[in-house]
Structure 1
Amino acid sequence: MTGKLAVSTSGHDRGRIYVIVKEEHDLVYLSDGKIKLVEHPKKKNKKHIQIIKRLPNEVIQLLEGTKFSDLNIKRAIKLYMKKQEEN
């Protein structure tokens, strides 16, 4: 699941889009590149997120690679939001 976009489904950040930067047993670590940076990701239960399965190719290309950066995460989320508005 690492490198995928996800939407928070519960908590005070409900509806917010994140990138999954790390995964453990029942937990994922999320970053949005602005408030929750890659160095200090948000810890959330897997039950409380929804994976976004249909991603534009441009977003997938931005998120590919071994090392995440805050800049690439911000770009990927912004590009995804732009593509959603177009549809």
Structure 2
Amino acid sequence: MEIKLAISRSGHDKDSIYVIVKEEANMVYLADGNLKPLEKPKKKNRKHIQIIKKLPKEITQVFTQENFRNEEIKRAIKLYRKSIMDTRQV
């Protein structure tokens, strides 16, 4: 399963990081494992997000099983934030 992270580019959640859990024609369903869990994902227009194309390997390794949980989503977002901070400090 290919995992995709996205950053919200508009709305009150601007600059929030999410995992895309479902995709439709021009809508995506986003979860962050915390305020927006898998059971109640955020529905957002595709043009209001930016998909993160280059993910570090440790993030893709978090999602080993087919059905991932909120804990894995939180961990992936945390690892991505850490990788951004590490690259900015170089």
Q: What range is the shorter-chain TM-score in? A: over 0.9
Distance 2:85 2:78 in 1: 11
- Correspondence for 1:52: 52
What secondary structure is seen at the aligned counterpart in 2 of 1:21?
strand
Paired letter, 2:18: Y
The equivalent residue for 1:22 is 22
After TM superposition, the score normalised by the length of structure 1 is 0.93
**Deviation (angstroms), 1:68:** 2.2
Q: Distance in 1 between matches of 2:49 and 2:57?
A: 22
Deviation of 1:66 (Å): 1.8
What SS class does the counterpart of residue 78 from structure 1 fall into?
A: helix
Moved over 4 A (4+): none
Q: Which residue of 2 aligns with 1:5?
A: 5
Q: Alignment length, in residue pairs?
A: 86
Unaligned runs of 5+ in 1: none
Asked if structure 2 preserves the Cα contact closer than 8 Å seen for 1:3 and 1:64, the reply is no
The 1:84–1:8 alpha-carbon spacing in structure 2 relative to 1, beyond 3 Å, is same
What is the alpha-carbon distance in structure 2 between the residues aligned to residue 66 and residue 22 of structure 1?
Answer: 13
Tell me the amino acid that sits aligned with residue 41 of structure 2: P
Identity in percent: 57
Q: Which runs of 5+ in 2 are unaligned?
A: none
Structure with higher Rg: it is 2
Residue type matched to 1:66 in 2?
E
Q: CA deviation at 1:45?
A: 0.5
Alignment RMSD, CA only? 1.1
